[in-house]
């Protein structure tokens, strides 16, 4: 079941978020222009936001009416995260990420500071495998760590979760149908995994319960990002 907030997206667009992973304004705006007609959301991450600030949000909005996903992964004491969330809430993002490892009080602070934004709790980064988790002191395999952090974030009011496609079915069973599940680490069949450790195809991620697929380099690294986005969007809608 797709939550109501996802049904509000234009029906001609696929449930894909394209990361504008660049530090250059012109490149980000060009990508947003090209992919915007085909996907639900464009994602602005730390590199671009820290280099260009809030102005990049306005520039992207000027070329597309796709949703804006601020992937800032806030992680600090609750008061500081509340202030940061409040600062960017005025930009009107659809989603804003915070690290669930910051704890329930921190997630709740973000939710309360930005009531009109869907706060997305990041569980375990898709670049991390079991060995990487053990090295930073997170007990158990990735699936168990993801489920613990998912339950914590939702309990604190998060309306969305970020998890790898390999855990999405278990997370859906854990949190039910009312939470938006955002899955990085999505790669079309045969695509390079690059720095992602836990991946799946778009079709598998959606079948397992994902609502929004983060697909970056297979689109933005293409000769024609607009055509690549259109092709992937068509395949996702058909699937």
Query: Which positions are annotated as active-site residues?
Result: 73
d(CA 215, CA 121): 19
Sign of the Cα pseudo-torsion (192, 198, 204, 209, in order): negative
**String of DSSP letters for 76-94:** S-HHHHHHHHHHHHTT--S
Tell me which DSSP letter residue 200 carries: B
Question: Cα(165)–Cα(186) distance, rounded to whole angstroms?
Answer: 7
Handedness of CA 44, 57, 41, 178 (dihedral sign): positive
**Hey, how many other C-beta atoms are within 10 angstroms of the C-beta on 110?**
29
Under 8 Å between Cβ of 120 and 162: yes
Q: From the centroid of its chain, how far is CA 190?
A: 22
């Amino acid at each position: 079941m797709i939550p109501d907030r996802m049904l509000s997206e234009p029906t001609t667009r696929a449930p894909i978020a394209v990361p504008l992973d660049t530090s250059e304004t012109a490149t980000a705006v060009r990508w947003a222009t090209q992919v915007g007609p085909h996907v639900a959301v464009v994602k602005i991450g730390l590199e671009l936001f820290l280099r260009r600030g809030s102005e990049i949000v306005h520039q992207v909005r000027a070329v597309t009416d796709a949703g804006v996903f601020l992937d800032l992964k806030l992680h600090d004491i609750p008061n500081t995260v509340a202030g940061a969330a409040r600062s960017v809430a005025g930009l009107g993002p659809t989603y804003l990420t915070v690290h669930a490892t910051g704890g329930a009080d921190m997630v709740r602070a973000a939710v309360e500071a930005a009531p009109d934004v869907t706060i997305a709790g990041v569980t375990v980064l898709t670049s991390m495998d079991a060995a990487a988790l053990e090295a930073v002191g997170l007990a158990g395999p990735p699936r168990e760590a993801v489920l613990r952090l998912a339950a914590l974030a939702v309990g604190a009011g998060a309306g969305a979760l970020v998890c790898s496609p390999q855990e999405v079915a278990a997370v859906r069973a854990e949190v039910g149908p009312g939470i938006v599940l955002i899955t990085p680490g999505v790669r079309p069949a045969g695509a390079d995994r690059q720095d992602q450790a836990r991946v799946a195809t778009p079709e598998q991620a959606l079948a397992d319960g994902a609502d929004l697929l983060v697909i970056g380099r297979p689109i933005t690294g293409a000769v024609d990002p607009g055509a690549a986005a259109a092709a992937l969007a068509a395949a996702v809608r058909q699937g």
